[in-house]
């Protein structure tokens, strides 16, 4: 088998696919890309058995064939070459690979492509189409709130709730929760829900195009994301997602409206003085004024800042983990945010003061108990 291709074009495709290669693969062949040439199309596949990426590109070829190519040495070679055509010559008996560039020849040992694990194919799937940019938004706004606790597998991914022409993305780690609803330009005829693992979503976020639509297909076991000439396949998290609506408080008589970036900057400064274990900051809220303070008694550090705000409700003192608030304020958009609060022991809700048409976002953060 022999084919020629632009080194830069090939490198771009390999960099997308390489995200699916794990750092400690269970089988040696999982350190390889699978190259499959059919006609003048090269299909590149990579997998860690949980997440797989398949991408296609045009090449000039004289014969069909498959071979598994060691990923690291190939990537390093192409990164070190300037843009130029390269030719791959593969021995069909020994799977030896010879790469020819204008500088010289490079030989490496391939493996039998037939030994490469089979990647799942869409079978009995439901289908949704939505703009790539919207899917990217949904992932970016929720991924940070997922848990790393392997004992609660459902929380280690993002929950996709499909309701015909509306998608709700939910993520929680029991300390914070994000619910992002999107209902513009979603084409779907199904009601369903599934949990997509964090690694797959991180890869997807980096690979999504800026303009096209994405086709999402899913069955009980896997989800398939197709955009351009790339398909990403991931095994879904097999677990029940907690009833997130039950933890969202509905009675929140105290409402605080504050400038988002000023609040975030203030928290960034105050957090420097907070206890490094709890990251606790205390918000003292009264009509027209918000006082943010923190102290670390072990090192005699403390800091206080005051800012103007608009507040309706009884005076309230409540503690939060500064890190969680800073993360949330970085994800919410808009100039002003609204915090809906009830008591110092109940969760606070953050929402943008002005919502964007077609989307809805709600963030919940549990308070840190104040030690008197």
What would the pLDDT profile of 124-162 be if each residue is shown by its tens digit? 999 999 899 989 999 999 999 999 998 999 999 999 999
Place of tokens 């990251």: 279
Residue 184's pLDDT band, with cuts at 50, 70 and 90, is low
* Nearest Cα residue to 305 out of 271, 331, 334, 336: 271
Which of 16, 50, 24, 361 lies closest to 198 in space, CA to CA? 50
- Mean pLDDT value across residues 22-42: 93
CA distance 29 to 34: 9
Q: Which of 16, 5, 15 is nearest to 228 (CA)?
A: 16
Sign of the CA dihedral running 322, 323, 328, 331: positive
- DSSP-derived secondary structure for 279-295: -EEEEEEETTEEEEEEE
Q: What is the mean pLDDT of residues 212-229?
A: 93
Q: Quick one: what percent of the chain has pLDDT higher than 70?
A: 99
Q: Which residues contact 81 (CB under 8 A, 6 or more apart)?
A: 7, 101, 103
CB atoms within 10 A of CB 184: 13
At residue 371 the predicted structure's pLDDT band, cuts being 50, 70 and 90, is low
> What is the C-alpha to C-alpha distance for residues 228 and 351, in angstroms, rounded to an integer?
34
pLDDT at 89 over 90: yes
Q: Which pair of structure tokens corresponds to residue 352?
A: 């943008």
Q: Is the pLDDT of residue 185 over 80?
A: no
Q: Dig out the tokens for 175 from the structure.
A: 């300390």
Residue 164: band (very low, low, confident or very high) from pLDDT cuts 50, 70, 90: confident
CB 305 within 8 A of CB 266: yes
| Residues counted in the chain | 372
Burial 37-72 (b: 16+ CB within 10 A, else e): beeeebbbbbbbeebbbbbbbebebeeebbbbbbbe
Domains contained in the chain, CATH given: 2-115 (3.10.150.10), 126-245 (3.10.150.10), 248-365 (3.10.150.10)
Cα distance between residue 126 and residue 190, in whole Å: 7
Structural element, H or E, at residue 28: none
Backbone angles phi, psi at 340, to 5 degrees: -105, 120
Q: Give me the pLDDT at residue 356, please.
A: 77
The answer to whether residues 30 and 48 touch, using CB atoms and an 8 Å cutoff, is yes
Q: Which two tokens stand for residue 107?
A: 């030989």
Q: Could you count the other beta carbons within 10 Å of the beta carbon of residue 166?
A: 16
Mean pLDDT for 109-116 is 95
Provide the CA 331 distance to its chain's centre, in angstroms.
Answer: 13
CB contact set of 93 (below 8 Å; sequence gap of 6+): none
């Amino acid at each position: 088998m022999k084919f020629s291709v632009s080194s830069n074009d090939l490198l771009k495709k390999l960099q997308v696919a390489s995200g699916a290669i794990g750092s400690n693969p269970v089988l040696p062949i999982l350190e390889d890309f699978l190259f499959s040439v059919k006609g003048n199309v090269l299909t590149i596949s990579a997998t860690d058995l949980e997440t797989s990426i398949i991408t296609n590109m045009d090449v000039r070829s004289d014969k069909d064939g498959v071979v598994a190519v060691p990923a690291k040495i190939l990537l390093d070679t192409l990164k070190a070459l300037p843009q130029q055509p390269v030719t791959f010559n593969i021995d069909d008996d020994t799977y030896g690979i010879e790469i020819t560039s204008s500088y010289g020849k490079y030989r490496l040992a391939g493996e039998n492509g037939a030994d490469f694990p089979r990647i799942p194919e869409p079978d009995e799937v439901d289908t949704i189409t939505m703009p790539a940019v919207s899917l990217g938004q949904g992932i970016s706004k929720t991924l940070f709130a997922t848990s790393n606790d392997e004992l609660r597998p459902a929380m280690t991914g993002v929950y996709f709730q499909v309701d015909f022409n509306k998608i709700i993305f939910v993520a929680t780690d029991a300390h914070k929760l994000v619910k992002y609803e999107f209902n513009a330009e979603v084409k779907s005829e199904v009601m369903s829900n599934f949990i997509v693992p964090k690694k797959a979503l991180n890869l997807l976020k980096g690979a999504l195009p800026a303009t096209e639509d994405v086709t999402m297909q899913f069955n009980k076991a896997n989800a398939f994301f197709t955009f351009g000439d790339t398909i990403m396949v991931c095994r879904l998290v097999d677990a029940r997602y907690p009833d997130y609506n039950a933890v969202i408080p509905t009675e929140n008589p105290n409402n605080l409206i504050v400038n988002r970036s000023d609040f975030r900057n203030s928290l960034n400064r105050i957090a420097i003085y907070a206890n490094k274990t709890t990251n606790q900051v205390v918000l003292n809220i009264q009509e027209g004024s918000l006082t943010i303070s923190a102290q670390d008694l072990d090192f005699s550090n403390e800091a206080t800042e005051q800012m103007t705000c608009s507040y309706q409700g009884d005076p309230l003192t409540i503690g939060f983990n500064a890190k969680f608030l800073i993360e949330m304020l970085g994800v919410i958009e808009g100039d002003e945010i609204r915090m809906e609060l009830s008591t110092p022991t109940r969760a606070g809700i953050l929402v943008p003061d002005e919502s964007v048409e077609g989307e809805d976002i709600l963030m919940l953060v549990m308070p840190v108990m104040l030690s008197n």
